Amino acid sequence: MNRILLNCDMGESFGAWRMGDDAHAMPLIDQANLACGFHAGDPLIMQRTVALAVANDVRIGAHPSYPDLQGFGRRHLACSPEEVTALVLYQIGALDAFCRAAGTQLAYVKPHGALYNDLVRSDELLGAVLVACAVFRPGLPLMVLALADNARERRLAEMAGVPLLFEAFADRAYLPDGQLAPRRQAGAVHHDGERIFAQAVAIARGDAFADIHGQPLRLQADSLCVHGDNPESLAILRRLRANLDGA
């Protein structure tokens, strides 16, 4: 397999509510996308998850979202581009404070949930997030969805002077153009461990895999996400880590 990075959404607990198994998943990944308080996470969770990432030499990415704690950031909100720039800056600034206190800094930004998906559909919102990255720190990369054709994202990012990281998903079904199948659609999330692993291997190799309609789809990705809230995630991450390290 090609040397593809593994990432996972983490720090998504809140108060007494727990999500994911960050302690066991963190040693298996290269990049941790940490919730910044708007869809999940709280100051203590952020601080502890940053410390866990530092202890495991894992790159830390901010995982900002719409202000939608009750909906876990998966509801589309009618925010203006100016609001999106401000809310992304607010969240990455908060997480970066904990990074700096731990002797590190943010490595990239990966929007969460509905905001992440809206960037595929709206030049204005993608531009708003690119502005936030550019003004926060020159050279701060933005992680976006790897599509069948990312010419649009490359063009807008080049105009903003922001590097891009392209991400694919091992445990999500895809539409023919490379967009993620909506979660409300049957079969949008894979739960079979063998299927998740097979899709991950195909993406890492640059091979075609089946979209939600069974048609071949090929993606070029820098990083591969396995969701931490998927019950199969730990077993899949261990298997992927072993295969990638043995490549």
- Give pLDDT tens digits for 121-164: 999 999 999 999 999 999 999 999 999 999 999 999 999 999 99
pTM over 0.85: yes
From residue 17, give the alpha-carbon distance in Å to each of 45, 119, 123, 159: 11, 29, 36, 41
Contacts of 151 (CB under 8 A, 6+ apart): none
CA dist., res. 97 & res. 125, Å (int)? 25
CA dist., res. 137 & res. 244, Å (int)? 31
Q: Where are the domains of the chain?
A: 5-245
Name the 3-class secondary structure at 61. Answer: strand
Spans of the chain, pLDDT less than 70: 1-2, 228-231, 247
What is the pLDDT at residue 235? 84
Q: Where are the alpha helices (DSSP H) in the chain?
A: 22-25, 43-55, 81-101, 113-121, 123-136, 151-160, 193-205, 233-245
Assign domain 5-245 to its CATH architecture: Alpha-Beta Barrel (3.20)
